[in-house]
Structure 1
Amino acid sequence: MLSVVQDVLFPLMCYSDADQELWNSDPYEYVRVKFDIYEDLVSPVTAAQALLLSTVRKRKEMLEKTMIFLMQVLTSPNVDPRHKDGVMHMIGTMGAVLLKKKIYKDQMETMIAQYVFPEFQSPYGFMRARACWILQNFDEIKFKSDQNIVAAMNCIQNALLNDNDLPVKVEAAMALSAFLASQNKAEKIVEPNIQPLVQELLKVIKETENDDLTNVMCKIVTTYTEQLIPIAVDMCTQLAATFQQVVDSEDGAEEKAITAMGLLSTIETLINCMEENPEIMVQIEPITLQVVGLILGKNVMEFYEEALALIYSLTSTRITPDLWKCFEMMYQMFQNDGFDYFTEMMPALHNYITVDTEAFLSNEAHVRAVYEMCKSILTQDCGEDDECHAAKLLEVVVLQCQGRINQCLASIIQLVVERLLQEVKTTELRTMLLQVVIATLYTAPDQLIQVLESTMLPNTNTTLTSHFVKQWIHDTDCFLGLHDRKICVLGMCTLLQLGPDRINVLKECHTELLPAMILLFQGLKRAYAAKAAEEDDDDDDDDDDEDIEHEVLESDEDEIDDAGEEYLEKLEEKVNKTAAATPFNITTSIQDEEDDDDDDDALDDEMDETALESFTTPLDKDECEVDEYWVFKEVMQTLESNAPAWYQALTSTLNPDQQKAMQEIATLADQRRAAAQSKKIQQSGGYNFQQTSVPTSFNFGGSFGS
């Protein structure tokens, strides 16, 4: 097998006459061929690499024998540069295997310093390119000498900035990205030169239209956001110009499309990194909108997803008049040929509704456009995933624009109810449709009841109200996550308040209401615990990055915490004293909620139950004052006082376990109210105490020892 390595694989992996001819005649094509995955499929060099790897991994002693052969070639006097290229090509190909063997792993740094670094000064461009390439393959080496990693980074930077051969610059850029990802010390070494490096990389991207380089740029932008602020606008301008150039080109349409997508992704990364710099965003926005306008205006469907992602990024914090024009373009795109891209439009549409609700509502056409898009999705056969998104968007509109879209509510209710009455294959869609109706019940109960009561089920004498309530209660266990359960609880609280006098079907199913709500609250408890666990994990990650001195509180903060504890203790006493006035037997204690280890799996299950919860509503904000636990408790207290017969009908059939669950819900309501009040006080600057003057002398009634 060694003869195969020496006589077949080695010659194939050396720099060839064909390589030299292409390098000299068309370096752009040389770069394209070397980075083309389709060329790799038919390349004998790629096949040689694969066979070499398989051989040294599976054949006993072949790694050692191959390395002996390669080092003999490398150290021989007057070695042919092409043979030296072949040696480095083979060593780099075996990089992952070599780094797993201690005997070689410990020698790699020395090998790089002795044999690779000098090649950056080689008169042969292909050897300078190979030096960059081999560093990519050993980017995870644990350098023992800081001098060597500095030397490696300086070689890479110099190759990108100053080399005259385009293929060398491309390989240098790839090596730069690899070292930034793998070597912690690389970031600081490169930082002083990052602006000229980026400017040079932009030129190389424009010249080569290489999609791998756009990934390099994304890595650099996320790593050096602050340092790139001064040139961010120029970067966006050049990326947009290169995108225009790529789109206008007629050669290699499929390859160009991949490059264009990479450019759009890089612009998106730049926007996301600069969003906290409004003075930069003001300049980046019109440049980006020209790109978006080109895509949407010319109906370039292959870039719709990227264009919609750009709109989402631009609308995440503010929405300018030009971006509202973009909203109109999105609507036109949807009507023309963008029907299949509704789920990709959803994040941007959510921003338009929630980031600037006033502007959204200022033009009736905005609301109508969202309704028409959702109607198209819900009335045509486009798949239940799209329909779930459409229903979610309608729910967002109902909750975000509460009390301000009454003229549209009847149409929204009718649309959703009609879809509910048709075949629904998945519980996800059915619960999402129910959720829109529940949101309407919560925000505008009179309008909902009017529509439902005036509509009969087909071929029956039953109103839609009865069908809706029964289906809702039946599907209680299908509502998952935090938001879905919360709106479900709030909706059922509205049902309790309306009572059987307004909702006649409650006379039939009133005994099912509280058990259904108990089930929801049990799910909410798990969901909140899962959220807290996730936030704790995030906090732990953040703490790892902080200096240790930040972990110790100042003395003033300790005093505030002591006062807070005293406040909570007094609040607990007060709640316990007034417990008799509540409809439940309450024993309140302010405590940390801890679940047994047996519940860990349940918490994990709660983490990602509903992807659509990422499209938030006012009920999901941290500062939201609507607490479903407290709302439920207040409703039950009010019913006990003002509607005792209805209260008795609801509670009389509860079994002991359900009664205990009700008590726990009430206790948790008190805990949550106390915690919310404490948090509000802390956010306002802590607890205020009356300031008194401190005496300058003290008399304790006699001298010491008297």
Structure 2
Amino acid sequence: MDALYQCLSHTLDPNPNTRKAAELELRKLEAHPGMLPSALQLVSRNDVDLSVRQATTIYIKNRIRRAWDAKSAALAELKQSPIPEADYSPVREALLPTLVSCPPQLRVHINASLGAVVRHDFPERWPKLVDEVKELLGAGDGSDVTRVYAGLAALLEIFRAFKWRDEKNIMAPLCESSLPIVLNIVRSILGSSNSSSAEAGSLIYLACKIYKTSISTNLTAYHQADENIVPWGQTLLQIVQKEVDPSQLPSDDEEREKASWWKAKKWAYFSLNKLFTKFGNPSQLPSNMKKYKAFAEKFVASFAPEILKVYLAQVEGKVNGKVWISDRAIYLILTFMSECVRAKSTWLLLKPHLGTLVEYFAFPLICHTEADDELWELDPTDFVRTQLDPMDDYGSPRAAAANLFQVLVQKRMKGAFMPILEFLTNVLNNYPASKTPAQKEGALNLIKLLDDAMLSHPSTAPSLEGLLTQHVVPDLRSNHRFLRFRAADVVAALGGKMSWKDSKSLESAFQGIMATLEDPEIPVRVQGANAISSLIDHSEVQEAMAPNAGRLMQELLKLSDEVELDVLTEAKSRVVDAFSEELLPFSTKLCEQLAQSYFRLMRSNIEAAKKAEDMGSVAREMDPSVLEDRGEEDKMFAALSCLSTMYQVLSSAEHRPDILAQLEKIVLPVVQFTLQENLVEMFDDCFDLTDVLTFYQKRISDDMWGNFRLMYQTFKTSGIDYLAEMLATFDNVITYGSQAFESNAELRHIIFDIFQTAMTSEQLGTSDHIAALKLADVFLLVLKSHMQEAVPAVINLALPHLADGQVTPLRKWATLVILDALCFNTVPALQALEAAQATQAFFASVLTIIGKFTRVNEKKVIAASFLSILGLDPAQTPATVQQGQPALLVGLLQNLVSLPKAVQKAKEEQEAFENLEDESGDNISGSFQIDDSKDADDDVIDEDNEYLELLAREGDRMRARAEAQAAGQDFEEEVDYGSDDEDDDDEGEMVYYSPMNQVPVFEGLRTLLANNPRVQQIASSLPSEDQQLLQNVSQFKDEELPLPPNADIPVA
């Protein structure tokens, strides 16, 4: 025990070497029986230092999570010893007593340990667990707080273990046996004289969380029965309305929010909401929830109105200043009301309160507050993030209020839009006379929230320009920084989508936005940059901005370095797109700045990760600041933004080889740094950079050859999962570096080894095999006879994938690669097929699915390979092939007759691709639709219901698959593998160039017919309809596909 104590205490030592030595010693002790039970005893001892007890609970939690299941993947991955069999029973026996005796701050880790054991052992290996928990709960009066708390915490872990998957049918009997006891405990506490205490709140918090967890996915018969839903509903409403003695609560709002009673109220609100939104609203039930229709009809008629009545009373108390409500509770109240908007019965109850709800409750929540000012001062970057990233503000009252406004306008346009608009107009017209700057900011925020509706509605769309000119643009120069920020936000939302009739108004807006880029406040500059990316769609703005494009980009780069957020990516992208020519002289300096920013950001992330690793697992988990540093998400997104902007700069220099050569020297070190430091999150974007560099330059420099070898090394180590992302670069390197491959056996070995590794690695799947086959397609067609030695191995690796009964993309690519080999390495390819005894089966397969090859490249490969086979000297032609030559000739003709149609389709696709224009700038209504076809107060059935239905079907499918797999059965899905019109794995031919594009297959057919007696004999013996087909096809002319832009590729 002493040795274990010393070891665990050393995991907290400031010296990293001591910490690592302690963790290694723990690894050694893990194999000894009694280690885990002894650790649990340490936790229960009051004479042990609390920090050591905390470190011990963290260790126990991690050990049980990783190793309690002896077959756990984490156990194998971390190469840890399994838990000795003798320890399982003592640990189970010790967990509940430890939960009772340990200090409150350690319970969370013991709870997690218990949950991991429950998921694996209950009920088979721990059949008496529920009885043991009931014993802790006692008579249900909540008298022994410590034991009841432990019992509720343990019961919560049992419910959590089965809330998503209940294959063992645990939930129904568990609810029947335990929830009545939980309900009695809550009622007893609520009726006690000490009901406002923190201890009472903690118990009710756990009870509410248990109930909430029990209804996560399904309602059992217990939940739906009147004799249960009524008392539970009444009790939850009683908790919501409970007036907690203020003396029992912290005076500080933030601390009060965290108080146990308000955490209990939060889960009471949540449970009431869940009952309605998931199970109790009949018009919104998806197909797989129709079993709850009877419950829903009763709930929406009897229970939902009572909930809404209580919530409205809470709102009234809050508005009048008589009731304090936590932010989370406000969020849940507004979320419930948003759902009430959809159902006719609850909407009719809510509608009379709309004016009060909007003006006095929801609107103040979207206005600027003192807390916003404090955050702006403390951390401007964080302020920007909370304002611009909806997920960062998720769960806040402001987010819920914003959602309510949008739901009201989207779902109840007839009944809600005009009253909201009247209120908004009143605020705007009475500022600054009787409305405060914060209220003006709220009004601007509301305009932004309703932007789609205002752009679409006939009463607002024509007057938007006047609205912006009178009430928004002047605030771009306001003395209040938050008004400048919000005014720019409105311009960003509306300015690019609306039509400006008066050029002076547009110029005024543009000049105001340009002023925000030089604002002393970072958030204003960021919002101004967003507005630039919106206004840039207007030609007048582009003309005015063009002379200063370089300075504008410098400001954006400087700002990106200051805030380290991804939010500026769009602005930089739009500027580069709009002013590619103007920015070319600055492109080298621009990329240098981007590279420097990237290196700085990623080195910071690397250092943070190293710091976290050096601390050791236990100490790291005890230091929350390290967990925050370890994420470094802002820096990661900012680094990705650097790579994205580099990509656009390279694209803008597409026709300037001199500039591309300079840029390559800046960009490649970025890529190489990324690969060498194994920054896998950045691999995809870095390979995009090498793709455009090689494609646009049409040559492979010495530096790029070095990068190619580094990519190979990366693929063989940490990057094996990234072949699909590397593929475009590999394709370009082979195509434009073909002479080097032809003369260098090492390079040929590298490219073949990549293919072979991808086809044989156990950790790769179908999509990786397709990527590998695409790579083989390139090197076989480009390098031709220079890859002759690899042909047998390529064929042997492709053949197993022909056995698929369906015409899957994998089967098609495997077939195509073997045909590639037959095009230019015909004899060795046939010899390989013969050696594998696969010749007859292969050609039978090809002729069976030949109609599935619809692309020009595929058809030309088939034609060239068949022509090569038919043109062979009989001495070189295997007997099985000679016997099938008539069928091959007919297959060749059937393939060629559809080639002109494929060529025409490819041309049309390419033309459509090149003429494709972004129409978003001309669409002022966005996706918002005004539907006047139905009663304004009917149940709302719209795309949200369609989405829920889609999720329901997908959930049913996944459950069926899981059940089939658990039963050891095959799961058959209805998937169309045989469509001639689309193939999800392929890109369109307008962005794909093949060396086969210029191969004259029709001329090849005529030459073969003119010069080969054997083929002439076969042709003369064909049936009359095939001879007619031959005569028609032999008249076709070879029509090359037009080359994609800059694809003037020499056929090697």
Same-fold status (TM-score > 0.5): yes
In the alignment, is the contact (CA less than 8 A) between 2:476 and 2:484 conserved in 1?
A: yes
Partner of 1:201: 556
Select 1:635's aligned residue among 994, 1008, 1014. 1008
Partner of 1:44: 397
Partner of 1:488: 862
Cα distance change, pair 450–64 in 1 and its aligned pair in 2 (3 A):
closer
Partner of 2:809: 428
Partner of 1:256: 635
Aligned pairs (5 A) from 1:413-562: 413-417=795-799, 419=800, 427-453=808-834, 455-457=835-837, 464-498=838-872, 501=875, 502-537=877-912
In the alignment, is the contact (CA less than 8 A) between 2:477 and 2:512 conserved in 1?
A: no
Structure 1 counterpart of 2:542, one-letter code: E
Residue 94 of structure 1 deviates from its aligned partner by: 1.4
Distance 1:270 1:488 in 2: 40
Asked if residue 29 in structure 1 is aligned to residue 386 in structure 2, the reply is no
SS for the counterpart of 1:41 is coil
Asked if residue 663 in structure 1 is aligned to residue 1044 in structure 2, the reply is no
SS for the counterpart of 2:785 is coil
Distance 1:342 1:35 in 2: 35
Residue 283 of structure 1 deviates from its aligned partner by: 2.4
Cα distance change, pair 665–309 in 1 and its aligned pair in 2 (3 A):
same
Partner of 1:344: 725
Select 1:361's aligned residue among 730, 742, 756. 742
Distance 2:815 2:913 in 1: 33
Partner of 1:611: 987
Structure 2 counterpart of 1:659, one-letter code: Q
Cα distance change, pair 16–443 in 1 and its aligned pair in 2 (3 A):
same
SS for the counterpart of 1:102 is coil
Q: How many residues align?
A: 597
Structure 2 length-normalised TM: 0.54
Residue 258 of structure 1 deviates from its aligned partner by: 2.8
In the alignment, is the contact (CA less than 8 A) between 1:27 and 1:166 conserved in 2?
A: yes
Cα distance change, pair 512–214 in 1 and its aligned pair in 2 (3 A):
same
Cα distance change, pair 282–337 in 1 and its aligned pair in 2 (3 A):
same
Distance 1:292 1:530 in 2: 38
Cα distance change, pair 267–345 in 1 and its aligned pair in 2 (3 A):
same
Partner of 2:577: 222
Residue 289 of structure 1 deviates from its aligned partner by: 1.6
Distance 1:27 1:82 in 2: 18
Cα distance change, pair 367–440 in 1 and its aligned pair in 2 (3 A):
same
Residue 612 of structure 1 deviates from its aligned partner by: 8.6
Partner of 1:387: 769
Instruction: Tell me the alpha carbon deviations over residues 401-453 of structure 1, each in whole angstroms, 9 at most, x when there is no partner.
Output: 12334444444445445x45777875433332233332222213233344444
In the alignment, is the contact (CA less than 8 A) between 1:531 and 1:607 conserved in 2?
A: no
In the alignment, is the contact (CA less than 8 A) between 1:438 and 1:487 conserved in 2?
A: yes
Cα distance change, pair 123–472 in 1 and its aligned pair in 2 (3 A):
same
Structure 1 counterpart of 2:981, one-letter code: D
Structure 2 counterpart of 1:60, one-letter code: K
Cα distance change, pair 649–356 in 1 and its aligned pair in 2 (3 A):
closer
Structure 2 counterpart of 1:306, one-letter code: D
Residue 287 of structure 1 deviates from its aligned partner by: 1.9
Cα distance change, pair 369–237 in 1 and its aligned pair in 2 (3 A):
same
Partner of 2:73: none
Residue 535 of structure 1 deviates from its aligned partner by: 4.3
Distance 1:294 1:384 in 2: 30
Partner of 1:63: 417
Residue 268 of structure 1 deviates from its aligned partner by: 1.3
In the alignment, is the contact (CA less than 8 A) between 2:802 and 2:814 conserved in 1?
A: no
In the alignment, is the contact (CA less than 8 A) between 2:1019 and 2:1027 conserved in 1?
A: no
Distance 1:603 1:633 in 2: 32
Cα distance change, pair 476–276 in 1 and its aligned pair in 2 (3 A):
same
Distance 1:380 1:422 in 2: 19
Greater CA drift, 363-372 or 402-411: 402-411
Instruction: Tell me the alpha carbon deviations over residues 672-697 of structure 1, each in whole angstroms, 9 at most, x when there is no partner.
Output: 48x99xxxxxx9xxxxxxxxxxxxxx
Distance 1:257 1:64 in 2: 44
In the alignment, is the contact (CA less than 8 A) between 1:510 and 1:650 conserved in 2?
A: no
Partner of 2:707: 326
Distance 2:421 2:805 in 1: 64
Residue 388 of structure 1 deviates from its aligned partner by: 2.1
In the alignment, is the contact (CA less than 8 A) between 2:785 and 2:824 conserved in 1?
A: yes
Greater CA drift, 398-407 or 295-304: 398-407
In the alignment, is the contact (CA less than 8 A) between 1:527 and 1:607 conserved in 2?
A: no
Distance 1:297 1:284 in 2: 20
Cα distance change, pair 41–413 in 1 and its aligned pair in 2 (3 A):
same
Instruction: Tell me the alpha carbon deviations over residues 148-203 of structure 1, each in whole angstroms, 9 at most, x when there is no partner.
Output: 1111111111211x21111100000001101224x343221221222111111101
Select 2:1016's aligned residue among 634, 647, 653. 647
Residue 222 of structure 1 deviates from its aligned partner by: 1.2
Partner of 2:971: none
Partner of 2:192: none
Aligned pairs (5 A) from 1:131-210: 131-139=487-495, 140-160=497-517, 162-181=518-537, 183-210=538-565
Greater CA drift, 381-390 or 298-307: 381-390
Residue 41 of structure 1 deviates from its aligned partner by: 1.3
Distance 1:212 1:456 in 2: 57
Distance 1:347 1:290 in 2: 19
Partner of 2:782: 400
Select 1:288's aligned residue among 667, 691, 703. 667
Distance 1:535 1:70 in 2: 49
Q: CA-atom RMSD, angstroms?
A: 2.8
Structure 1, unpaired ranges of 5+: 458-463, 545-601, 677-682, 684-706
Partner of 2:466: 110
In the alignment, is the contact (CA less than 8 A) between 1:481 and 1:609 conserved in 2?
A: no
Structure 2 counterpart of 1:482, one-letter code: V
Instruction: Tell me the alpha carbon deviations over residues 593-621 of structure 1, each in whole angstroms, 9 at most, x when there is no partner.
Output: xxxxxxxxx9993798943965543222x
Identity of matched residues, %? 27
In the alignment, is the contact (CA less than 8 A) between 1:500 and 1:506 conserved in 2?
A: no
Cα distance change, pair 207–494 in 1 and its aligned pair in 2 (3 A):
same
In the alignment, is the contact (CA less than 8 A) between 1:374 and 1:390 conserved in 2?
A: yes
Aligned pairs (5 A) from 1:675-694: none
Partner of 2:427: 73
SS for the counterpart of 2:456 is coil
Structure 2 counterpart of 1:42, one-letter code: G
Residue 630 of structure 1 deviates from its aligned partner by: 1.6
In the alignment, is the contact (CA less than 8 A) between 1:530 and 1:607 conserved in 2?
A: no
